[in-house]
Amino acid sequence: MAVIFDLDGTLVDTLADITSSLNHVLAARGLATHSRADTRRFIGHGAKELVAGAARSHADVSDDDVHALTLAFREHYTANLIALSAPYEGINDALDGLVARGEALAIVSNKPHAMVETIVARFFGDRPFSPVYGVGPVKPKPDPSGILRAAKEMGVAPSNCSYVGDSEVDVEVAATAGMRSVAVAWGFRDESALVGADRLVRAPSELLDALI
């Protein structure tokens, strides 16, 4: 069996860095800033949607403003990508258990590919994730072509793969690709958004049993 992981909200808690960069660009333009809990609600569909949701929640902001804010956010976030981020507690132990069991591991994320490579190299450089994809080489989820490409490169049929993620988009893409969906409850979505997953896990320590 093979296991393909989402990145943000699944393996790595990136919320503090995303919130910091978002608030930096909002404050610079005199717009209201947001708590981590607020930012968490806006995450999941890319940088533009994140910025638009945050900016328009308290102000009448034009499309041109959203575009400028998005560019500024991407620049600031790229420069501060791993200032505050870290793997979730227990994730490395779970990954070590999967490696010991001989599972093939991959990552497919909706983050830009260069960012994904940087984060994976920083936190998981000694673990055998292959392939590792962000948006660029593959299309963003819920398009299933990215995780299907990963499965093909791993030499595993989709029916023998699990896709692990923290959002309704991850549950959807797994179903579309014919993979087993394992939803994690410690990420960026409440459990109510994860209805339909084949398995729900509430702690990284549960991953080994869930991925059998």
pLDDT digits (tens, 9 = 90+) for 109-149: 999 999 999 999 999 999 999 999 999 999 999 999 999 99
Flag the least confident range among 21-25, 54-58, 133-137, 151-155: 54-58
Say what the pLDDT of residue 23 is: 97
Give the model's pLDDT for residue 1.
84
CATH class of 2-13+86-210: alpha beta
Mean pLDDT for all residues in the chain: 95
Mean pLDDT throughout 181-197?
A: 95
- Domain boundaries defined on the chain: 2-13+86-210, 15-79
CATH architecture of 15-79: Orthogonal Bundle (1.10)
| pTM for the full predicted model | 0.94
- The catalytic residue positions are 6
Helices then strands, counting H and E runs in the chain, come out as: 9, 8
Q: Is the pLDDT of residue 44 over 90?
A: no
Q: Do 197 and 74 touch, CB atoms closer than 8 A?
A: no
Q: How far apart are CA 170 and CA 177, in angstroms?
A: 11
Residues 6+ apart with CB under 8 A from 102: none
